[in-house]
Amino acid sequence: MEIRTPLPPRSGNRSNKLIALTWSTRRQSECRAAWVLSGGGVTRDVGKPGWAVLTAVQATVERLVFVADDDYTVARMTADDRPGFVASGRPLAGVQPGETLRLAGEWERHQRHGDRLVVKECERVVPSTVRAITLYLGSGLVRGIGPRLAHAIVSHFGEETLEVIDTEPARLREVINIGATRQAQIVAAWAEQKAIAALMIVLQGLGISPLLAAKIYQVYGEESARILTGDPYRLIGQVRGIAFHTADRIALRSGVPERDPRRIRAGVLDRLEAAAARDGHCFVPMPVLLAAAARLVEQDEDLIRAAIDALTAEKRIVVEPSPAVPGQAVVYIKEQHARETALAAQLARLCRARSTLPMRPYAEDETLHDDQRAAVNLALTSTVSVLTGGPGCGKSHTVRVIAATVRAMGGTVTLTAPTGMAAKRLSEATGLPAMTVHRMLARRGEPEEGTLFQDSPARADLIVVDEASMLDLHLATRLTSAVPAGSHLLLVGDADQLPSIGPGNVLDDVLRVPEIPRVRLTHVFRQASGSGIISAAHLIRAGELPRPPGGGGFWFEELDDPDAVARRVVHLATEAIPRKQGVDPGQVQVLCPVRKGAAGSVEIGRRLQERLNPARDGLPEHWAGPAVFRPGDRVMPIRNNYDKGVFNGETATVTEVDVPERVVKIRTDDGREVEYAFGELDDLTHAYAITVHRSQGGEYPFVVAPIVAEAGTAMLRRRLLYTLVTRARSWVVLVGGREALTSAARRLGGRRNTGLAARLGGAFQ
């Protein structure tokens, strides 16, 4: 039903305005509805007796209270005749503090928030009153304008402020403290906000989350609307948050035929990319790809084959014989194939090279066990070697002896690991400086004070890579390409831990090649054998249910309901363990098998944030989708950024949320100050609760983890449970169902589809 009616004059309005409100339902015959249009204190009921009442109100967003993953939003609003009310609903998705909105909805009584407007329709309105304009400009929506400058601008131009910015921007320099640079910044930010707002309307019309508008505009700028409706499949892989399903919905609603070749090709690429991102596969067998892509686009496999042929001709994918199944073909994304081929060639090159390590006599360390002594000899005599072993078997001590021996022989050493946490652990365990693989590859020129190498760290006589199970195909290829022939490369890791987050299974593949020397440490030292954590880890590795030992260190608390599990985990992390152990809650890390669900890292992390760092009056904050950033938050970069010098897996603390400048400032644990623009906050995740995958390479004094059946059989596997337990230094507490714990301990994970072992084996023949 659509009703058009003039609203009475409002303060600041020069004339009556028409408002069009539309409300629809799938079952009109069962619907009782009416609009009540409110303005200037006058209410017009255009419904019939007994019909439900919908209210239209114009209000300004004061602050966001809550944003869910599905765009459901709760905001505190202010209207001229109703200050400080709460509005909620999915139509509010993407609104920001300072915006003026025209809302239509139903009032309801909420137990916590009191009277609340449940929003059915939301329309952005250009603010027209002095107060609304001041709030809008001072909210941080327009970069470069804070509350004080907003007050100065509006005091000068009054109700004409936005019109001046839009049509006579040069006049901004009439305001004190605004020069040419600030004027240009304000005008550019204003134009961007207008464009994003228009793009949000387009997305809402297509039934797509308006939260994607800013991300699309960041990539395509003024071309955004044209690309969005003209070639939406271009968005895949270029705009974060847009995968095939979202682009396909846009395309189909924009009139793209279901059998369009662009759509079929995009579906094939999506299945290949999903296999890499979700399961870590480097390739997909042809029959599996044909069936998966056909299901995705709901078309015949003949069309899929044609798309594969076209993508092969375009050199976007590679089809070759399967390394495991004779007569079957496998399909790679071109980049994955190139990296796998290059990594095999680089490892073979390093293995064949003649050592440049100075071979001087050295005194054997009598404290070493026989298998540790064998590992030292292997690292000194082989240009590529592998050292593996479980917790308590002395890997760190062995590495320390190897590094000391090489230095005593006159050689140089670089100790490195895939993440900042792992590098820090390596340094603490060996007493020697260590760095991330990313920093090693990025460093040039003179060495830093305290480092072990004399020139470029990638050119040391011995390069030790700890936590090698975390090496994905991309990082391993970059690493081996940088190592000169003759240098010794020692890969150290626990083969029973989770594989890398990225595609590939480098450590496992290398261990499958007999020509590459390796030593596995199996002797558990006496000082380690009494640890409940280490005992539990070895039981899990054997497929047995871990049990609390007499000496402590491991505990399992049985609960079945996921929501009850989440509440208990939060209580343990914030109150029980800190009180009993006499430690700060920051010493307790929550690790989750999965992100989603009541006991996932997102929901538990949200609860922990509200307990440890809640919203406070006067404390600035910024909502980026369903995540809110506040000073004091613990965060973790989830993408490498060489320009900023931050890398996946590092940890940091938010030091400032600068709303006028639209940036969040963080300080990494090694003391570096880094800025993230509001549009870059997808690169950060909160670290109150993280997934087990994100914790790889880290170690925490106390670990609490939910183990619930809703995590699914795909995640509750032996390697995940083993990795989780071995992240704790003093205590690990598991909370959840006994059946889920038993299943996780006994279930082996599937093998990743990789061809590295076969390529390496062929290189040595």
How many Å apart are CA 16 and CA 14, to the nearest integer? 7
Binding residue ranges for ATP: 392-396
Identify the helix (H) or strand (E) that includes residue 61: strand 52-67
Residue type, position 737, single letter:
G
Tell me the Cα Rg of the chain.
Answer: 30
Beta bridge partners of 378: none
Task: Kindly state the tokens that stand for 728.
Answer: 């704790």
How many Å apart are CA 109 and CA 115, to the nearest integer? 5
Residue type, position 569, single letter:
V
How many Å apart are CA 628 and CA 120, to the nearest integer? 24
Task: Kindly state the tokens that stand for 686.
Answer: 């909160």
Q: Where are the beta strands (DSSP E) in 540-638?
A: 554-558, 588-592, 622-624, 627-629, 634-637
Beta bridge partners of 667: 653, 673
How many Å apart are CA 446 and CA 41, to the nearest integer? 72
CB atoms within 10 A of CB 558: 13
DSSP state of 511: H
DSSP state of 575: I
Beta bridge partners of 43: 38
How many Å apart are CA 216 and CA 199, to the nearest integer? 9
Task: Kindly state the tokens that stand for 682.
Answer: 């997808």
CA nearest to 513, candidates 283, 759, 280, 336: 759
How many Å apart are CA 644 and CA 618, to the nearest integer? 29
Q: How many CA atoms lie within 13 A of 221 on its CB side?
A: 2
Q: Where are the beta strands (DSSP E) in 94-250?
A: 100-110, 114-125
Tokens 């690429």 belong to 269
**Coil, helix or strand at residue 763:** helix
CB atoms within 10 A of CB 177: 9
How many Å apart are CA 185 and CA 191, to the nearest integer? 10
Residue type, position 10, single letter:
R
Contact 422, 439 (CB under 8 A): no
Contact 404, 634 (CB under 8 A): no
Residue type, position 154, single letter:
V
State the distance between the two ends of the chain, measured CA to CA, in whole angstroms: 76
Please state, in angstroms and as integers, the Cα–Cα distance from residue 480 to each residue in 340, 378, 440, following that order. Answer: 12, 19, 12
Task: Kindly state the tokens that stand for 167.
Answer: 């049509």
Binding residue ranges: 392-396
How many Å apart are CA 620 and CA 518, to the nearest integer? 53
Beta bridge partners of 102: 58, 123
> Percent helix, strand, coil in the chain (nearest 5)?
40, 25, 35
The angle at the Cα of 242, spanning 297 to 685, to the nearest 5 degrees, equals: 135
DSSP per-residue letters across 121-181: EEEEE---SHHHHHHHHHTTSSTT--HHHHHHHHHHHGGGHHHHHHH-GGGGGGSTT--HH
CA nearest to 93, candidates 221, 234, 241: 241
